[in-house]
Amino acid sequence: MKLKPAINKPSEELALILGPCSAESPDQLEEVVTSTLSMKPDLIRAGVWKPRTRPGHFQGIGAPALDWMANLSRKYGCRFCTEVATAEHVELCLKSGITDFWIGARTTVNPFYVQDIADAIKGQNVRVMIKNPINPDLFLWLGAIERIYQSGIEHISAIHRGFSFYGNSVYRNIPRWQIPIEIKRRYPDLQLLADVSHISGRPEHLLEIAQIALDLNFNGFMAEIHPDPSNALSDADQQVTASFFEEQVLRKLVYRHEKSTDELYNNKIAQIREHIDHIDHELVRLLGERMRLAESIGKEKKSALISIFQPDRWNEIIGRLRHKANENGLSEEFIFSLIEAIHIESIQHQSREMNK
Ligand code: PEP
Ligand code: MN
């Protein structure tokens, strides 16, 4: 794939998509446009068709909001983008002159929907931003990008909005940064944007998420801006005013470089990295050793006709490591996903041994 960015920006500048979760009224949209002018957003976002997880919530104004956007585009010379989930949405947008879209997380999960959208935009001069699917599946995300690309669209960007999960987290959607990092490793030309609002879920996390995205070389942000966040018809908890976003997020970001020419710094880093690499090798060696032990247990359990999984033992391990994690300054969330991954691998080793 030879991808071009959906938002044309010099690489040292951040691409910015700002606007409300949902278009609610012409006045609301106009207020967003005027209040964000100083941040010079590349696109104003506003959802028109809202895929709500559960019924009974505001599902968007629908097609009439496209006319509001078209009018404001004429008045202020700004560009709007919106979410499309069906071929009909695409057609209605094109009719209203909206040629920048995003595909939402609940649509990216379904290759049939993505293909319908891809077919509907074939041959059109449009730019498409593709949010990650709600589940942490790199290939569904890549597949959606490939489907759109195969329909002849070159201007494609990826929007990272975090992943759904069951359980507790300080964020609305777990970032799992390794997935967007992997997508960028495979496609270095892909413009990568962070939807800081849908990851954070609350204004107080916006800066921390935006800073991480910046430090991971993301190319820009999507953020939900509303003139009166607490009375927003959708996603009220996470929207902020334009001035909040400008003063409390954009202005507080620290810009850093990818590389340095300072020799002293480079030597120090090289030394620390050597130490880190050594620890990584040790970790892998120890994990291998742990799996050999799991295999020995598998052998014993096989001859004693004992099942693989003992919930009490698992609870005991988690409890102990949680404690250890705290002692070592590691988050419980991290140690839990780490030990879970180790446990799954361990079960596989035991099971292979038992079913030989
Ligand atoms: C949105 O952008 O308002 C939205 C519904 O996003 P997502 O598809 O990421 O949930
Ligand atoms: Mn939203």
Write the DSSP string, 25-91.
Answer: -HHHHHHHHHHHGGG--SEEE-BSS---SSTTS-----THHHHHHHHHHHHH---EEEE--SHHHHH
Q: How many CB atoms lie within 10 A of CB 256?
A: 10
What is residue 18's predicted lDDT score, i.e. its pLDDT? Answer: 98
Instruction: Kindly tell me if the per-residue pLDDT of 61 is higher than 90.
Output: yes
91-115 mean pLDDT: 97
Instruction: Kindly tell me if the per-residue pLDDT of 356 is higher than 90.
Output: no
Q: How far is the CA of 224 from the centre of ligand 2 (A)?
A: 7
265-282 mean pLDDT: 97
% of the chain exceeding 90 in pLDDT: 87
Which atom of ligand 1 is closest in space to residue 235's alpha carbon? 3
Instruction: Kindly tell me if the per-residue pLDDT of 308 is higher than 90.
Output: no
The residue whose CA has the least distance to atom 2 of ligand 1 is 21
The string of pLDDT tens digits covering residues 35-53 is 999 999 999 999 999 988 7
> Is 145:130 a contact under the CB 8 Å cutoff?
yes
Q: How far is the CA of 197 from the centre of ligand 2 (A)?
A: 8
Instruction: Kindly tell me if the per-residue pLDDT of 12 is higher than 90.
Output: no
264-275 mean pLDDT: 96
Q: Which of 131, 197, 221, 234 to probe ligand 1 with, by most ligand atoms within 8 A of CB? A: 131
Instruction: Kindly tell me if the per-residue pLDDT of 201 is higher than 90.
Output: yes
Structure tokens at 23: 């278009």
The string of pLDDT tens digits covering residues 177-187 is 999 999 999 99
Which atom of ligand 1 is closest in space to residue 159's alpha carbon? 9
Q: How confident is the model at residue 11 (pLDDT cuts 50, 70, 90)?
A: confident
Q: Round to whole Å and give the CA distance between 2 and 4.
A: 7
User: 68-72, 82-86, 198-202, 352-356: which has the minimum mean pLDDT?
Assistant: 352-356
- The SS3 call for residue 283 is helix
Task: List ligand 1's pocket residues with C-beta within 6 A.
Answer: 21, 47, 51, 104-106, 131, 161, 195, 198
What is residue 259's predicted lDDT score, i.e. its pLDDT? Answer: 87
Q: Could you tell me the pTM of the whole model?
A: 0.82
Structure tokens at 35: 């209040």
Q: Which of 61, 82, 195, 239 to probe ligand 1 with, by most ligand atoms within 8 A of CB? A: 195
Instruction: Kindly tell me if the per-residue pLDDT of 22 is higher than 90.
Output: yes
Which atom of ligand 1 is closest in space to residue 197's alpha carbon? 2
48-75 mean pLDDT: 94
What is residue 311's predicted lDDT score, i.e. its pLDDT? Answer: 86
164-185 mean pLDDT: 92
Ligand at shortest distance from the CA of 201: 2
Instruction: Kindly tell me if the per-residue pLDDT of 73 is higher than 90.
Output: yes
Mean pLDDT of the chain: 95
What is residue 254's predicted lDDT score, i.e. its pLDDT? Answer: 96
90-103 mean pLDDT: 97
Instruction: Kindly tell me if the per-residue pLDDT of 309 is higher than 90.
Output: no
User: If 0-12 CB within 10 Å is exposed, 13-18 middle and 19+ buried, where does residue 264 land?
Assistant: exposed
The string of pLDDT tens digits covering residues 215-243 is 999 999 999 999 999 999 999 999 999 99
Q: Round to whole Å and give the CA distance between 344 and 221.
A: 35
% of the chain exceeding 70 in pLDDT: 100
Q: How far is the CA of 46 from the centre of ligand 2 (A)?
A: 9
148-169 mean pLDDT: 94
Q: Which of 140, 165, 198 to probe ligand 1 with, by most ligand atoms within 8 A of CB? A: 198
83-95 mean pLDDT: 97
All domains of the chain, ordered by start, with CATH?
Answer: 15-252 (3.20.20.70), 263-354 (1.20.59.10)
Q: How confident is the model at residue 104 (pLDDT cuts 50, 70, 90)?
A: very high
